[in-house]
Structure 1
Amino acid sequence: MNKTGFQPSLKGRALRLLSQREHSRTELERKLAPHEEVPGELAKALDELQARDFINDGRAIESVVHRRASKLGAARVKQELAAKGLSGEAVAEALENLKDTEFSRAQEVWRKKFGTPAQDPHELAKHMRFLLTRGFNAEVVRRVVKVSDSGDESSD
């Protein structure tokens, strides 16, 4: 007998996860695989949820982009999408749209973190590393730091 008494079904577990945020099918498979008792049971449950549009990779892509794009560059968003098992044309399209706003998003992230131009080369490197680790393109990072250094010509 298990300690918790009631054990939710795989479909119930999947619905609970989906009620918290959008998940890709791959993500759900990874999270629920340890709870599968009968081989094929998980795939059947996920097929049913996908047929009823509870699992929708397009919505999962939109969700990640919406939640993360304001803080991260296109490279990091792409990495997160790949980690969730999402790829293909919809991901490419979402990333292309992100690249159009990469400079303004990087500028806003920089402004929130630092707000004032770097005073020396060490601090400049710190500003650049900060933006690079968040997945912003190196050329965009150089432009953001250069613009901030030359009098904050923000594009408001």
Structure 2
Amino acid sequence: MQSIFYYNTEIGKIGIEENGAAITKIFFINEDLQEDISEKSETELIKEAIRQLNEYFQGKRNVFDLPLEPKGTEFQKRVWNALKEIPFGETKSYGDIAKIIGNEKAARAVGMANNKNPIPIIIPCHRVIGSNGKLIGYAGGLDIKEKLLKIEKNYNK
């Protein structure tokens, strides 16, 4: 059974979902809450996830240590694994990620996979920017993407 719990955070209201073994989704309040398939329950794993997220928001954590099970295609999972390798406080372009996964012409497909990331922040899709250095696209909105990058810039010293 999926469990889900909602929290007010420094970046707004989020939901954290897990399947009994791993975190499966983190979403911003502007996304579909899927309450029909999830039990509202603050499990130990969800409590640990919000603890680590709060440490991240406060600049006390730059690496997450949680079991993750994002659902997606093999290509999406390759992209998401590459995102996890972007160091705290750094950014990469969609083209950079395409090169990292061995398909340098797949920048647009990387962008689509980035957009489908079910576990933002922990799988740091906010660290991917346009090749011109501009912030483009983020499920939580560009204002949240900007806040996350600012957190990392301020604490990456």
Q: Return the TM-score normalized by structure 1.
A: 0.29
Point out the structure with max Rg over C-alpha. Answer: 1
Q: Which structure has the highest helix share of the two?
A: 1
Q: Which structure has the highest strand share of the two?
A: 2
Q: Return the TM-score normalized by structure 2.
A: 0.29
